[in-house]
Amino acid sequence: MRIQGKVILFFTVFFVLLLSQGAFFIAHEQTIFQREMEEKGVILAENLAELSKEPLMNYQFGRLINQIESIKGKTDISYISIVNEHYMVLADTRKNLEGWTYSGTLVSSTKLDFGRNMLVVQAPVYILDVQRGMVEIAFALDVLNKKIRENIFIFLLFFFFEVLAAVLFAIVFEFQLVRPLDHLAKAVIDVTPDSLIHPIGKPVHSSVEIKRVSRAIDQMKTNLKQAHEEIISKTKLATMGKLAANFAHEIRNPLEAISGSVEILSYDVEYKSEKASYLSIIREEISNLNDYLENFLEFTRVEPVQLSSVDVNRAVNDTLLLLRPLCSKKNVMYDSNLKEGLPVCLADLRQLKRVLLNIILNSIESFENNAKKREKKINISTDVVGEHVNIEVADSGVGIEKDVRDKIFDPYFSTKANGFGIGLAISKRIIEQHKGRIVILDSSKAGTRMRISLPVHEVEFEEEYSNS
């Protein structure tokens, strides 16, 4: 059953129970009112019958009239009548009936007659065990009926507001839960590898919980996209590993044989002759092929990381010290803003320096294509955010074109004329081996900013190195 059907069923049962409860309480309250009025009427009639004995014995009919007149002051009494054993009306609040003959029968015991608009209570008057008359009191039920109508009105008023609240709740429930859930369900069903990069968006007018689910689904899509990319990357690496093995076997050995043959032939060729020039070209091309094969093998060769507690600031300073001569030669200025007291990271110091070297060398090379000849500057900073230490490298080079930014970490993709396209790919693989991330935060014609994020190691740097 759909959730709307369950909600409708719930409210239907709720309203039926509410109506049944209301009807029960109104009937119960009406019964209580009636019992109270009956008890009141019986007590009043029996007391009046007791008080009427002496006046009846002494024929003091004036006292009877005074008694009923004093009782008549009660607002809910319609009339009071006293008759003798001969059915003569001796006293009646309805003056026109006094002296007339009573048309009813004399009751021998207290009797109640509950009509629609009136309650009539009759009580006999006994003197020395002989019935000498009867008292009859009629109570108007207008007050009782008014109270019952007021209770019904109050119940219906509350019921109306409860129905209104239920309708409003159903509308809010529909727009804040049911429709957003349908939206999320369709978005999840329609997820494809191409749609992973697009957020499903927050459903309109949805509740906080639905928005949290929406964010969770977007995060799930991001995780799926990363997992999808990692699977593709690992598949490419596996394929390249097989290709590398074939290259090593099918190309390197013939190249070595060709290289040996060229060296043998060079003995019989005169220096600076035309044949010597051809042999030199062959040697150069063999060297280029070897370089290409070596770079290819280098990327497909997975080196295990040697983890230890590493001070990230020390790794940055060591890398900058290594690059200082090159920066001086290329007229590149660098500025480091390293946060003091960083927690240590569990990393391979040699491979982390290799990543930093690759990124900073790319920044230095980006200045060579800078047509505007603006200031050559590189900023390196470190910081800690949550459970990660971040290293940011920002340069003022030519930047990376937007259409190739997503491919910059792909193996063998390069924007350089003489580049092999493995530096950043190797760097990404190394950082991922450390359970970290490397991303391009910003890249435009004003330069590029990259971030390396490494998880924090729980052992403090000072404690780790104080024992070394």
Residue 201 within any structural domain of the chain = no
With bands split at pLDDT 50, 70 and 90, how would you rate the model's confidence at 248? low
Confidence class for position 463, pLDDT limits 50, 70, 90: very low
Rounded (10°) CA dihedral 429, 431, 437, 441: -90
How far CA 429 is from CA of 284, 303, 354, in Å, comes to: 32, 10, 12
140/47 same-domain check: yes
pTM: 0.47
Comparison of pLDDT for 410 and 108, the residue scoring more: 108
Q: Give the distance from CA 351 to its chain's centroid.
A: 41
End residue of a domain, out of 147, 162, 192: 147
| pLDDT at residue 205 is higher than 70 | no
Specify whether 116 is located in the same domain as 78: yes
Does 319 lie in the same domain as 291? Answer: no
Q: What is the pLDDT of residue 417?
A: 56
Domain count, the chain: 3
Domain-terminating residue out of 273, 300, 327: 300
Q: Once rounded to an integer, what is the mean pLDDT over residues 192-197?
A: 61
- Residues spanned by the domain of 424: 308-466
* 157 Rama class: left (phi>0) / alpha (psi -120 to 50) / beta: alpha
415 and 317, same structural domain?
yes
| Same-domain pairing of 315 and 233 | no
Question: Is 153 a member of any domain?
Answer: no
Residue 335, classed as helix, strand or coil, is strand
pLDDT of residue 196: 59
174 belongs to a structural domain: no
- pLDDT for residue 124 is more than 90: yes
Residues 341-358 pLDDT 10s: 888 888 889 889 989 988
Is there a contact between 380 and 337 (Cβ–Cβ < 8 Å)?
A: yes
Q: What is the pLDDT of residue 252?
A: 67
Query: Which of the four pLDDT bands, split at 50, 70 and 90, describes residue 126?
Result: very high
The residue-averaged pLDDT of 123-152 equals 86
- pLDDT tens, residue by residue, 295-313: 666 666 666 778 888 899 9
- Is residue 435 situated within a structural domain? yes
Query: In terms of domains, do 323 and 263 share one?
Result: no
Using a pLDDT cut of 70, give the percent of the chain over it: 81
- Higher model confidence: residue 389 or residue 457? 389
User: Which CATH number goes with the domain that contains 446?
Assistant: 3.30.565.10
CA–CA gap between residue 417 and residue 391 (Å, rounded):
28
pLDDT at 239 (0 to 100): 72
| Residue 116: per-residue pLDDT | 75
Rounded mean pLDDT of 319-325?
A: 88
CA 422 to chain centre: 42
Q: For residue 240, what pLDDT is reported?
A: 66
- The predicted model gives 415-437 an average pLDDT of 77
- In one-letter notation, the amino acid at residue 380 is I
Do 101 and 140 lie in a common domain?
A: yes
How do residues 375-417 score in pLDDT, each as one tens digit? Answer: 788 899 999 988 899 999 998 877 777 777 777 777 666 666 5
For residues 36 and 70, state if they share a domain.
Answer: yes
Q: What CATH number has the domain bearing residue 264? A: 1.10.287
Residue 162 lies in a domain: no
- Which residues partner with 130 through β-bridges? 127
Q: What confidence tier does 465 reach under pLDDT thresholds 50, 70, 90? A: very low
CATH number at residue 72: 3.30.450.20
pLDDT at 121 (0 to 100): 92
